[in-house]
Amino acid sequence: MADIPRNIYPSQRQATGGYEEAKAPIQGQQDHVPEMGVFVTGGQDRRDMQDDHSPELGAFAAYEEYDDYDDYDEDGHPISILVSKVKPEQVRWLWPGRIPLGKLTLLDGDPGLGKSLLTLDLAARVTTGRAMPDVPDTDSRGFEKPAHADSRGFEKPAHAGRTEVLDARGGAWLHPPDPCTGSSEPRDYEPIEGGVVLLSSEDDLAATICPRLVAACADLSRVRAMQTVYGLDVERGVVRERGVLLPQDVDFLAHAIARAQAKLVVIDPLMAYLDGRVNSWRDQDVRAALAPLARLAEQTGAAILVLRHLTKGGGSNALYRGGGSIGIIGAARSGLLVAKHPERPEEERVLASSKSNLGPPMPALAYHIVATRNSYGDAVPYVKWCGTVPYTASQLLAAAEREGMERVPRRLNEACAFLQEVLADGPRLTTEVEQLAWEASISDHTLRRARQTLGVQARHSAFRGAWLLALPETANPTQSPPTREDGGLW
């Protein structure tokens, strides 16, 4: 059998300091890791690296697999492998049925629904080894969580054993069916405990992320945040600080995962970290950009949770509502959606499954956002889970679309009533009307539609040198604006 090529997976050597000497790069070679400011010898023994808080990555197993290759090119690179030589592996979950370990998971939702806050709740659970929201803090032997635990269950149960998952249909306790056998026999789901790596471009680390992690009772010593890296500026020929870009900075991310011994990586949002040369609406570009991220998840065993905003376009199919190419959700093995609760849209949110390649979709979970006070007296939000609800991702999007359609005529009616009131005494300056509309929280688009609906006329004043708005001469100020039933334009 040909020698194993030594130039395979250089990112693994940079992130972990190399493998065994027999499979290491040239001895004495040094890989500079600017983000951490340290040098690592390529041939350093991996046991020494563990003393530096770097875990033994699952990627090491990839080197062992090459012993089973029997198909190589002329340069000794492996081409294919017999599937009969592959050892089947059980799917491991960070959150049973929802977030698999070693895979990409996509979380979609509109801004302002608490997606980022939800990920911090999950991060707090991972860093402290607490169970996920729908996994009760009791085991199959009936051990209850300790009496001194608070209502959010921040104390870890004294007896960690076999746990079960709550089903939405009738409130029965059962386990998710095994993806291969379909069996619902009890399985061991120990809470996953480890570090977390955060990439957040929208929230301030000191003013927002850190206080929210404290409110969620996270172990801050196990959370690492990546904000910038140092890279070579080719045009100027100097090393400078810049933002994290994917996929080119996947090696830096691998290093952070190793240092944190991370089980969860959060990228919030994905579009902020994609290299500018990647066309997020082009399927080939997106898949090529996410492939290194998916390999990193597989090699490290960490769950990589990617956040994305929904588009403004309608439709109830969650697979097509996220921004960018369909290849983004295609690359993820699990998809989640956050939306408003159809019956209590102002109070509660719902987390539903939009895609599940590794098992049956799990029941949707409701949550609402509550606040506590920090040491400075500031209100800091955190997530409080409310249990299962009988909604699918499609139903949630359809309800949101109906709410939006109902909101449009209501706002238009308000804008029409506003124009009738401010123009009742005669023409007024356009700029003055627009300022009053802005103070009344009426958007420019809605104001224009209201002007069209009422037939408001714009006149140029030769004396004042400005444009005036006036109601049509036949308009009756007491007449209600049109609605759908009486022939409105909308």
**pLDDT tens digits along 156-169:** 333 333 333 333 33
Whether 301 and 354 map to the same domain: the answer is yes
Domain that holds residue 250: 93-391
**pLDDT confidence bin for 65, thresholds 50/70/90:** very low
Whether 79 and 166 map to the same domain: the answer is no
The CATH number assigned to the domain holding 327 equals 3.40.50.300
Instruction: State residue 121's pLDDT score.
Output: 97
Beta bridge partners of 467: 460
Q: Is residue 210 part of a domain?
A: yes
**pLDDT confidence bin for 462, thresholds 50/70/90:** low
Q: Residue 345 above 60 pLDDT?
A: yes
Is the overall model pTM greater than 0.95, yes or no? no
Instruction: State residue 25's pLDDT score.
Output: 35
Whether 97 and 19 map to the same domain: the answer is no
Query: How many domains does one find in the chain?
Result: 3
Phi/psi-derived region of residue 170, left when phi > 0, alpha when psi is between -120 and 50, beta in every other case: left
Higher pLDDT, 283 or 41: 283
Q: Is residue 478 part of a domain?
A: no
Higher pLDDT, 480 or 330: 330
Higher pLDDT, 381 or 185: 381
Instruction: State residue 466's pLDDT score.
Output: 82
Q: Is residue 476 part of a domain?
A: no
Whether 42 and 105 map to the same domain: the answer is no
Structure tokens at 48: 């020494």
Calculate mean pLDDT across residues 445-465. 82
Which runs of E-coded beta strand occur in 286-437? 303-309, 334-340, 349-356, 364-373, 379-389, 428-429
Q: Single out the residue of 306, 356, 338, 298 nearest to residue 105, CA to CA.
A: 306
Taking only the tens place, the pLDDT of each residue in 207-250 is 999 999 999 999 999 999 999 999 877 778 888 899 999 999 99
Residue 70 to residues 3, 6, 22, 59, Cα–Cα distance (Å): 11, 17, 20, 21
Whether 153 and 56 map to the same domain: the answer is no
Average pLDDT of every residue of the chain: 76
Whether 230 and 361 map to the same domain: the answer is yes
Q: Is residue 218 part of a domain?
A: yes
User: Which of 48-57, 65-74, 373-382, 448-457 has the weakest average pLDDT?
Assistant: 48-57
Whether 243 and 97 map to the same domain: the answer is yes
Taking only the tens place, the pLDDT of each residue in 85-141 is 888 989 999 999 999 999 999 999 999 999 999 999 999 999 999 999 988 654 333
Q: Residue 319 above 70 pLDDT?
A: yes
Whether 410 and 320 map to the same domain: the answer is no
Q: Single out the residue of 170, 146, 148, 167 nearest to residue 157, CA to CA.
A: 146
Q: Single out the residue of 158, 177, 175, 157 nearest to residue 166, CA to CA.
A: 175
The SS3 assignment for 238 reads strand
> Which of 85, 117, 143 represents a domain boundary (last residue)?
85
Whether 298 and 387 map to the same domain: the answer is yes
Instruction: State residue 181's pLDDT score.
Output: 42
